[in-house]
Amino acid sequence: MDALASTEDPEWIISEGRIPYQAALAAMEAHVGAIRAGTGRERVWLVEHDPTYTAGTSARPEDLHDARFPVFNAGRGGQWTYHGPGQRTGYVMLDLQQRHGSVPARDVRAYVHGLEEWLIRALDRFNIRAERRAGRVGLWVPNRSGGEDKIAAIGVRVTRWVTWHGVALNVEPELSHFGGIVPCGVAEHGVTSIAAQGVVATMAEADAALRGAWGEVFGGG
């Protein structure tokens, strides 16, 4: 029998100001526990952090070149990531035992693909064409040198089929801050942002694009 589809749109929370990274981890862990216990709703939580470097489970010590900002072990998949002002981090907490729109139940690969599609559709609202690349998680746009730059990163963790962590969309961060790490372990490509693509967008406009694109992939309103 097919898994039941999620019948309720996740609650959306947009935090004002900057959330300390360790506080975000603790809040996510607590809410994931509540979802597993059936006492909490699925949630999409949009935040900004102070400048921070986070290490995923595959992070290599040599890829941290300059620890100019606080460094944390994130516990998610992936390698090194920067978080900071002007970047919208989206923490997605879903119960993957249910189907969500085009994402089937209990399929982590399809879930990651769904996160990518969500970001692609959100960026399309700014006339930015972001693309997947085989072997490189995240979203990429071509640059003027003939190469590619990452505009959004993805790193997830799944605990007893409940997801946490999520995505990081570069709206208008200070791109030089990425220079202390090898972002996601990919040294041969750079990073970019909505602003660096010549598009003027506020964080509220980025949030609206993310909210609008959600239902096209994961179902709901």
Cβ 59 vs Cβ 76: under 8 Å: no
Report, as residue numbers or ranges, the catalytic residues: 184
Query: Which amino acid is present at 113?
Result: H
pTM: 0.95
For the chain, the structural domain boundaries read 11-218
| Residue 220 pLDDT exceeds 80 | no
**The token pair that represents 187 in the structure block:** 């040294």
> Which helix (H) or strand (E) segment is 110 a member of?
helix 108-124
| Domain 11-218: assigned CATH number | 3.30.930.10
Nearest Cα to Cα of residue 168 among 151, 183, 146, 184: 151
Express each pLDDT in 62-116 by its tens digit: 999 999 999 999 999 999 999 999 999 999 999 999 999 999 999 999 999 999 9
- Which tops the pLDDT comparison, 4 or 221? 4
Rama region for 17: left / alpha / beta (φ>0; ψ in -120 to 50; rest) = left
